[in-house]
Chain A
């Protein structure tokens, strides 16, 4: 036999026999239904002589059988249902060579029924070509598709104003559309490479310059394609390696995942978020290579071993200690909603952030965006195909990045069982990065036991220790009630002390400012001090707005059973009318930024131990209620 089969050693080392071919450029073709997406693809193939043998004849035959004129769209509309109905249902891909570069042309459906198929096609693209019908002008999906492309992360964009033959190749008509659409693109932060007047059906400015539009001096479609560039490598960005799995097929314990950004070296100290465990990279493992790799860069699917066998799970993100991802259980997301069932406040769902999955609840719908006018409005629900800003709370701390910093780890998708409901990009806004609050920096720590038993402290004080954690808006009456309660309880013989917001900021927390992270740290320290004082046997009353549930939950964790959440309840209007420190006035005037209740959120307790309504009630009445609560809960039961 002339040709021996290739039976070289199967685990031999890979060799590169030929120069590596250039990376393919994936271009999605989008736009309103019937604006000529599929026709353009057919025309490109025809004019560059790349139709497979027999394809033209096959299309002619399909059209003849249906008694219709020749239809280029049949090149891509491969399903019989699509051809019968004359509509693209699902996205398709076709390979195309030009000028030594390979293109994958992704045809996306333009019908609004099939937005999720358009999203599927577009999310795989490096660049986009958006078609606008010169006769019909800019339509709903012309805008909707572009808005989605921007969210999906496609930045390389060119526009084709198609069907110029229908408007007699009129320059004025083209300029009108160009001006209108450029303005829209500016509004969403996209600069197109080109806006090209074409006729896909007639071939004007597709593969060859049109003789019918001498007034146009820019490139043809075929000349514009090579100008699309691939996104810059993410290797220079901070390292993110979300873990897909941990393998133990042999003696090696291998952590597997894809480097989404940055560069990893053997010997690097990694921190895994959100467990915050650390270990060093011992090796980069691979199969059928020479095994010499000591560095892995963005885009590579790798496996690593660690110098220590720490417990980490799928979904955690490995990074370097400096420039680690954010950790939070609450964040903002700009969502595109794909499901038939509308999204509502309180909707429970599951999120995927890379390989991580977490239960979540939509806590707030901040605004729904009008994609046409680029304005927004309040809404109680987000319907299918709408885009909205929402606040999402997860059931546990998760690691991620703000999308503007690192897109790959700043994206979520919303799922319900096997259905994908929507996708979105994340930001923190006013919410603090909680990483610092949960990180223990010390190592080799050993706790020692006290010799004084807590029971003996209770016996001497004749009351149990407690942390009465007052939370509520500024002006709700926290400080006033706290100080009055301290006096009453002291007079009754209690060991009691108040930790007050402004007081600790001049001492214990003098080094903290008002950034979201500093506010979280302020509360964390107060929570820890309160826990220590309670451990010493005291009843501690804290008077802090403490707007974030996560911060209060951590204070509860620190103090354990002694902790009571006390909601000092008064609405914003009441508090603003009182305004004892003149803060609301200054916040409304814009002098104070991110003021709770005005320009920053207050997360009400969902299940406080006691709620004290201070609007329209005197101090004494509220105080009696609190004293009774303390007596019932903390007096030593003999």
Chain B
């Protein structure tokens, strides 16, 4: 088994554990490169099927190409798509810095999804290497109904045994990609021929390294126009993946505050 085989086998194991122990399930699909891989891995795990709904938390602020990709592959892959309209920014915690407040709309949308759908588990395509608080996540992360992350009191998780039971009214965030890196995502997408959103490829010297809402996400300077070139760029870059995600660095703990209150 090579590196990608090993990563894939563990993710498939995680997906199957969730499907066996934490139903009803839903999968968050931001339509970015990471959640596209989670979706792909689900089809691997369940032999071509995606046996649960995929959910887009929609702020109405995604880039056009994101909506186009969503609509095309929902049809082609026969997905059970749920689109959740996120509550407006005016309802968010006013003490948050402005862009963080905008991002918080997704946490609120997710809370609504959970409340209405009664889901026990939600797949989220976050990775440890993309952001320092995510590096501290569990694969199966128990959350209270409001989604709050009790980072001071996370359960033990070892030998691939996961917390699959939850107290009443709690749910699980399940992270099948936690152990992958950004380059792994690209190598795997290339190997598997996963369709790539054109926003990731350089156009006029700019490309999106990480997709987010257009009001709070910026493209980076790059000439990488193929997956090979992206991988080459990532092997030498020293700037972090989420540099274009403006809410991350508004304050020392702005992203931590987002996450502890339920952001992905």
Binding site for B on A (CB under 8 A): 1-12, 14-18, 20-24, 50-54, 61-62, 65, 76, 78-81, 89-95, 102, 116-117, 119-120, 122-124, 152, 244-245, 247, 249-250, 252, 254, 256-258, 285-288, 297, 299-301, 303, 314, 338, 352, 355, 411, 413, 415, 417-420, 423
Which 9 pairs of residues, A with B, have the shortest CB-CB distance?
A: A78-B132, A123-B158, A20-B2, A116-B156, A301-B12, A3-B201, A418-B165, A5-B198, A6-B196
- A245 in contact with B16 (CB, 8 Å): yes
Partner of B190, one of A18, A76, A117, A423: A18
User: Nearest Cβ in chain A — how far from B64, in angstroms?
Assistant: 13
* B167 within 8 A of partner (CB): yes
22 pairs, CB–CB < 8 Å, chain A vs chain B? A2-B201, A2-B225, A3-B202, A5-B198, A11-B48, A15-B193, A16-B191, A18-B190, A21-B2, A53-B240, A80-B256, A119-B158, A122-B158, A124-B158, A247-B47, A249-B47, A258-B12, A288-B44, A301-B8, A413-B158, A418-B167, A423-B158
Binding site for A on B (CB under 8 A): 1-6, 8-10, 12-13, 16-17, 19-20, 40, 43-49, 51, 73, 76-77, 128-129, 132-133, 135-136, 138, 142, 151-152, 154-159, 161, 163, 165-167, 170, 179, 181, 183, 187, 190-198, 201-203, 225-228, 231, 238-240, 252-253, 256
Partner of A5, one of B45, B151, B197: B197
User: Nearest Cβ in chain B — how far from A449, in angstroms?
Assistant: 43
Q: Residue of A at shortest CB range from B14?
A: A301
- A589 and B114 CA atoms in complex are apart in Å by 67
| Residues of B with C-beta under 8 A to A9 | 193
| Residues of B with C-beta under 8 A to A2 | 201-203, 225
User: Nearest Cβ in chain B — how far from A257, in angstroms?
Assistant: 8
Known: A52-B238, A78-B135. A355 touches B17 (CB 8 A): yes
- A299 and B12 CA atoms in complex are apart in Å by 11
- A352 in contact with B13 (CB, 8 Å): no
Q: A20-B2, A297-B1 are in contact. List 6 more A-B contacts (CB 8 A).
A: A102-B181, A258-B9, A299-B5, A301-B9, A418-B155, A418-B166
- B3 in contact with A420 (CB, 8 Å): no
| Residues of B with C-beta under 8 A to A12 | 193
User: Nearest Cβ in chain A — how far from B242, in angstroms?
Assistant: 10
Q: Residue of A at shortest CB range from B131?
A: A78
- A198 and B170 CA atoms in complex are apart in Å by 46
| Residues of A with C-beta under 8 A to B12 | 258, 301
Known: A4-B198, A303-B47. A117 touches B167 (CB 8 A): no
- B198 in contact with A24 (CB, 8 Å): no
Partner of A301, one of B16, B43, B132, B166: B16
- A20 and B5 CA atoms in complex are apart in Å by 10
| Residues of B with C-beta under 8 A to A95 | 129, 181
User: Nearest Cβ in chain B — how far from A128, in angstroms?
Assistant: 14
- A23 in contact with B17 (CB, 8 Å): no
| Residues of A with C-beta under 8 A to B203 | 1-3
Partner of A420, one of B133, B152, B161, B181: B161
- A23 and B128 CA atoms in complex are apart in Å by 17
- A52 and B152 CA atoms in complex are apart in Å by 27
User: Nearest Cβ in chain A — how far from B133, in angstroms?
Assistant: 5
Partner of B135, one of A18, A94, A252, A411: A94
| Residues of A with C-beta under 8 A to B183 | 21
- A286 and B77 CA atoms in complex are apart in Å by 17
| Residues of B with C-beta under 8 A to A23 | 2-3, 6
Known: A20-B4, A95-B129, A249-B47. A8 touches B202 (CB 8 A): no
Partner of A62, one of B13, B20, B135, B252: B252
- A5 and B76 CA atoms in complex are apart in Å by 16
Known: A9-B193, A245-B19, A256-B16. A285 touches B165 (CB 8 A): no
- A420 and B138 CA atoms in complex are apart in Å by 13
- A78 in contact with B161 (CB, 8 Å): no
